[in-house]
Copies of this chain bind each other. A is one copy, B any other.
Amino acid sequence: MTQNIAILGASGYTGAELARIIATHPSMRITALSGDRKAGMSMGEVFPHLRHMNLPDLVKIEEIDFSTIDLAFCALPHATSQAVIKELPRDLKVVDLSADFRLRDPAEYEKWYGKPHAAVELQKEAVYGLTEFYRDEIRTARLCAGTGCNAAAGQYALRPLIEAGVIDLDEIIIDLKAGVSGAGRSLKENLLHAELSGGTMPYSAGGKHRHLGEFDQEFSKIAGRDVRVQFTPHLMPFNRGILATVYVRGEPQAIYDAMSRRYADEVFLEVLPFGTLPSTRSIAGSNYVHVGVVGDRLPGRALVMVALDNLCKGSSGQAIQNANLMLGLEETAGLMLAPVFP
């Protein structure tokens, strides 16, 4: 049975990516789209690449009749999301793509996002959306909180290793290269083509990036003790893709084995042969994740490298994977799209 889908905040990149995937999803149909500043416009004007889909026009959220909706994706900006979701019908299934429900602890939320959470009770209810690690909870969730795209990359690299106890928890460095679409469709000088193309620079270096809140929460939970990693993202002159280069201490082969075992049955996680290095080009446009492990010349040190598409597996693809579970559909439905290369 086809599910009726609403996308709130459809004029941003994650909204567009949801629509792109749903275009060939066998059991989802978009029946409502909201976009506050662009309400009244057709989706084909806002995103000409979707014009063939003949989608409904963008409306304001309050114009949507949610009684006909089976599931709503909420692709609104951080902070806006919690205010909107609080007002939605309490029995509506919601997959949120913002940062609003990723952190369980209100104090942590306030620390990283600079103001108190406005929907603390929902925060408690929300299930963290890293599918391969929260599958059962997501299946029965009403509200699922999408992970940060960088946070997803780092966790795919590290969770199996922390679970297996094969790395030193005090010596973890995540050097991350992030495609620019992760910054959204926002009008900032540093996101202009003339400023960004042809070079790179770090940002939020030294422990300032908000996705550290997710790392702290999740890694500490698995380890049963506080884990604090170093994390340096770099803004990359390409549109899609994250490469996380993760420096760890442990035996490379044990690390590789733990990784391979953990992801052996996961459709979207491809552990490359030992020593093979992943490229973001090999997963762009898809829900696949490539994981590489290589030992260092220094004994007891290894590198784990993860490549995923920030908009797809890091955001909208993950969201649809979770929605599939919440709606009782095949988990991979609509998500088997192959990466686009070259």
Q: Which residues of A contact B (CB under 8 A)?
A: 13, 16, 19-21, 23-24, 47-53, 173, 175, 177, 179-181, 185, 187-189, 191-203, 205-208, 212, 228, 230, 232, 234, 236-241, 243, 245, 247, 270, 272, 275, 277-286, 288, 290, 294-298, 301-303, 305, 307, 311, 336-342
Are A185 and B192 in contact, with the CB atoms below 8 A?
yes
Are B194 and A24 in contact, with the CB atoms below 8 A?
no
What's the least CB distance linking A22 to chain B, in Å? 9
Are B13 and A199 in contact, with the CB atoms below 8 A?
no
A270–B50 Cα gap in the complex (Å)?
Answer: 11
Chain B residue numbers with a CB within 8 Å of A232 are 175, 245, 303
Chain B residue numbers with a CB within 8 Å of A180 are 192-194
Chain B residue numbers with a CB within 8 Å of A303 are 202, 205-206, 232
A47–B282 Cα gap in the complex (Å)?
Answer: 8
Chain B residue numbers with a CB within 8 Å of A198 are 198, 238-241, 281, 284
Copies of this chain, complex-wide, total 4
Chain B residue numbers with a CB within 8 Å of A307 are 201
What's the least CB distance linking A243 to chain B, in Å? 5
A214–B238 Cα gap in the complex (Å)?
Answer: 31
- Report if A181-B194 is in contact (Cβ < 8 Å); known contacts: A199-B280, A298-B228: yes
Are A192 and B194 in contact, with the CB atoms below 8 A?
no
A179–B205 Cα gap in the complex (Å)?
Answer: 21
Are B337 and A288 in contact, with the CB atoms below 8 A?
no
Are A187 and B185 in contact, with the CB atoms below 8 A?
no
Q: In this complex, what residue of B is CB-closest to A294?
A: B206
Q: In this complex, what residue of B is CB-closest to A208?
A: B297
Between A and B, 26 residue pairs with Cβ closer than 8 Å are A20-B338, A48-B290, A49-B284, A50-B339, A51-B272, A52-B270, A177-B200, A177-B234, A180-B192, A187-B188, A191-B194, A193-B197, A194-B239, A197-B197, A198-B198, A199-B238, A201-B243, A201-B277, A202-B303, A202-B305, A206-B294, A206-B296, A207-B296, A207-B298, A236-B236, A337-B337
Chain B residue numbers with a CB within 8 Å of A290 are 48
Are B51 and A236 in contact, with the CB atoms below 8 A?
no
Q: In this complex, what residue of B is CB-closest to A206?
A: B294
Are A52 and B277 in contact, with the CB atoms below 8 A?
no
A202–B198 Cα gap in the complex (Å)?
Answer: 18
Closest 4 CB pairs of A and B: A207-B297, A201-B279, A199-B281, A23-B338
Are A247 and B285 in contact, with the CB atoms below 8 A?
no
Chain B residue numbers with a CB within 8 Å of A277 are 201-203, 205
A164–B52 Cα gap in the complex (Å)?
Answer: 25
